[in-house]
Amino acid sequence: MTRAVVLLSGGLDSATVLADARASGYECYALTVDYGQRHDAEIDAAKRLAESIGALEHRIVRIDYCHFGGSALTDSSIDVPTEPANGIPVTYVPARNTVMLSIALGWAEVVEATAIFIGVNAVDYSGYPDCRPAFIAAFEQLARVATKASVEGAQMTIRAPLIELSKAEIIARGLELGVDYAATVSCYQADPHGRACGRCDACRLRREGFAAAAVADPTRYC
Amino acid sequence: MTRAVVLLSGGLDSATVLADARASGYECYALTVDYGQRHDAEIDAAKRLAESIGALEHRIVRIDYCHFGGSALTDSSIDVPTEPANGIPVTYVPARNTVMLSIALGWAEVVEATAIFIGVNAVDYSGYPDCRPAFIAAFEQLARVATKASVEGAQMTIRAPLIELSKAEIIARGLELGVDYAATVSCYQADPHGRACGRCDACRLRREGFAAAAVADPTRYC
């Protein structure tokens, strides 16, 4: 069976991506990167989702990336905004998706996976540069020269199946695939029990997505 | 002054690169990535070199990358070879330079650096895919679409000043710049005091380099 490494944050998007990769016939190696997020609730959610959606393995890689600062998600002195931003918001973590895809590439090489799945989205992407199709294409080009497998002729593919979908379309797709969204945590500042603040950008996009998809919002709020 | 992030392992090559970046007029942010190497001797060497060569700051980022295995440098069940390999050797760490450059890119964005220096070498490179010019060029292309700074028009440059030099030429360049090679650790299996085994591939390339440069080898061997 064809193998894929799937980046799994524990949020709505990456849970949908894992279900999509499974439905596409991949044997899935779920990878959670803990880069110093404020709470562990997302990571706990990732563990449960990897099991329930059927990843073959789940690894959590820790990187003490937060001391660079530069983002509201890794620097407690910067408040998480509750209003939509103009331009790129302070929740952008410098080079985050580059770092996560790189780590995924390393594991992909070890397990001989031919694809890496990532839940980036260019529609509701909050202006993050590393959620754009041009970024994914450039990383794929890099992956095709970076590894031992690439020298030996293997072609790595970076798959971003949500990149052109709205949040409502993502939710509709995930429900078709049986994803339990009550088990996902999208909030930038969830409490230790994984309950969402209901006010941050991630909560707002998620709530609007359930409304637009015309399904009940199963999110557990504080 | 123009800023650069310089990847600094504590070995001969990266010490030379740091001195080169300083001599080129960059304010240097030295970055050591601890990905689970067998000993801390390299990291201790990096600390001393950052200070003596004159980095403005030095950060050590830890990533628990070693549990992926797949390399003699991160998996203690794989012996470090003492003979030259055919093809890509078992000391290759999957996606190592991709991960290290990605982390450097994150810090570069925070400190507003416009260049990242890395001591890869395509001559004595032991066959590593991520030491080739094509890899460096692909990472530079990625960096130019991956960051907030890139969206705002900044152009990140990846500099690999040693990429076409022989080990002897690197040593000659470093000695011109005043690098104290006795303070560097290249060995894949140095002891806790930073003394080299004298037998591994890295030791062999280094010893041959000093001989070819016709200078005394200052390496401390076990």
Q: Count CB atoms within 10 A of the CB of residue B68.
A: 24
Residue B84's pLDDT is 67
Matching residue, tokens 């490179």: B125
pLDDT computed for residue A132 by the predictor: 92
pLDDT (average), residues B116-135: 86
Closest residue in B to A68 (Cα) is B107
Q: What pLDDT is recorded for position B86?
A: 66
Q: Which CATH superfamily is domain A3-180 in?
A: HUPs (3.40.50.620)
Asked whether B194 and B45 are in contact (CB, 8 A), the reply is: yes
More confident site: A159 or B87: A159
Task: Band the pLDDT of B97: cuts 50, 70, 90.
Answer: very high
Contact A142 B139 (CB under 8 A): yes
Q: Over the stretch A171-192, which tens digit does the pLDDT of each residue have?
A: 999 999 999 999 999 888 888 8
Which of residues B171 and B93 earns the better pLDDT score? B171
Q: What is the pLDDT of residue B124?
A: 66
In this complex, which of B63, B130, B147 lies closest to A63 when CB atoms are compared?
Answer: B63
Write out chain A residues lying below 8 Å of B134, CB-based: 145
Q: Where are the beta strands (DSSP E) in A139-220?
A: 157-159
Q: What percent of chain A has pLDDT over 70?
A: 91
**pLDDT tens string B15-67:** 999 999 999 999 999 999 988 765 678 889 999 999 999 999 999 998 887 67
For B110-123, what is the mean pLDDT? 93
Q: Which of B96, B106, B134 has its CB closest to that of A94?
A: B106
pLDDT at B7 over 60: yes
Provide the mean pLDDT of chain B. Answer: 89
DSSP-derived secondary structure for B137-177: HHHHHHHHHHSHHHHTT---EEE-TTTT--HHHHHHHHHHT
Per-10-residue mean pLDDT of chain A, 222 residues long, equals 94 97 98 80 92 96 78 72 69 87 94 96 77 95 91 90 95 97 91 90 92 95 92
Tokens linked to B160: 């690999």
Q: B184-207: per-residue pLDDT in tens?
A: 998 888 888 889 999 988 899 899
B192 reaches A (C-beta below 8 A):
no
- Which residue type does A171 have? I
Q: Is A134 on the interface with B (CB under 8 A)?
A: yes
User: Does B99 contact A at CB distance below 8 Å?
Assistant: yes
CA dihedral A134, A18, A63, A91 (to 10 degrees): 60
pLDDT at residue A10, rounded to an integer: 92
In this structure, chain A runs to a length of 222
- Which strands sit side by side in the sheet containing B27-34, from one edge to the other? B57-62, B27-34, B3-7, B115-117, B157-159
| pLDDT computed for residue A36 by the predictor | 76
ipTM: 0.90
Mean pLDDT of B208-219: 96
Four-point Cα dihedral B33, B35, B36, B39, nearest 10: -30
Confidence at B71, pLDDT banded by 50, 70, 90? confident
What confidence score (pLDDT) does residue A165 get?
A: 95
Residue A97 touches chain B, beta carbons under 8 Å: yes
Q: Percent of chain B scored above 70 by pLDDT? A: 91
CA of B210: how far to CAs of B125, B203, B219, in Å?
A: 16, 11, 10
Comparing alpha-carbon positions, the chain A residue that sits nearest to B66 is: A61
Q: What is the pLDDT of residue B85?
A: 65
pLDDT at A125: 59
Does the CB of A77 have a partner CB in chain B at under 8 Å? no
SS3 A29: strand
Q: Does A138 touch chain B (CB under 8 A)?
A: yes
Q: In this structure, what are the phi and psi dihedrals at residue B180, rounded to the nearest 5 degrees?
A: -90, 95
Structural domain boundaries of chain A?
3-180
Phi and psi at residue A91, in whole multiples of 5°? -80, -10
Predicted confidence at residue B150, as pLDDT, reads 85
Which chain B residue shows the shortest CA-CA distance from A142?
Answer: B138
